[in-house]
């Protein structure tokens, strides 16, 4: 009788352990799409800003398909575009960040204000960009 209890206990433990290992995949709330590794790569090779920009954009597109854009990603892409002197795209993504994550409004308004003050031939009317961002939401 004692042998049966031990083997029964071991069998139950084995079933529980295998269910825990195989059936419990981690599902995250947001689609990060390798953001950490892309950011680390960019920090190591800052000359590859264009490549980092493309990876961010691809990740954003993928996340938008499932409405799982992480907080801060629109702003990060906006800052990358700002570094590449694409003011209108930067303003668009700062506005998207502000709309998706209202708690970022103060910071995004500051960034948008700085863009509006920048003298540049490439800078577009921020109000027009804000309206476009609302239409693409």
pLDDT in tens, 73-117: 999 999 999 999 999 999 999 999 999 999 999 999 999 999 999
Task: Give the CATH number, domain containing residue 106.
Answer: 1.25.40
Q: Is 12 domain-assigned?
A: no
Q: Is 73 domain-assigned?
A: yes
Give pTM, 2 decimals: 0.70
Q: Is 15 domain-assigned?
A: no
What is the domain range of residue 125? Answer: 29-136
- C-alpha to C-alpha distances, 51 to 9, 18, 89, 117, nearest whole angstrom: 54, 41, 16, 28
Half-sphere exposure of 32 (CA within 13 A, CB side): 9
pLDDT in tens, 63-75: 999 999 999 999 9
Q: How many domains does the chain have?
A: 1
Answer with the residue of higher pLDDT: 115 or 121: 115
Cα 17 to Cα 22: distance, rounded to the nearest angstrom: 9
């Amino acid at each position: 009788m004692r042998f049966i209890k031990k083997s029964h206990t071991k069998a139950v433990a084995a079933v529980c352990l295998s269910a825990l290992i195989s059936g419990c995949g981690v599902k995250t709330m947001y689609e990060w799409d390798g953001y950490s590794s892309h950011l680390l790569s960019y920090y190591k090779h800052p000359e590859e800003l264009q490549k980092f920009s493309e990876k961010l954009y691809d990740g954003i597109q993928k996340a938008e398909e499932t409405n799982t854009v992480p907080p801060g990603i629109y702003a990060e892409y906006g800052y990358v575009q700002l570094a590449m002197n694409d003011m209108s795209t930067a303003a668009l993504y700062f506005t998207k960040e502000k709309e998706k994550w209202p708690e970022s409004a103060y910071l995004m308004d500051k960034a948008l204000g700085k863009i509006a003050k920048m003298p540049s031939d490439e800078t577009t009317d921020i109000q027009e960009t804000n309206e476009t961002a609302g239409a693409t939401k």
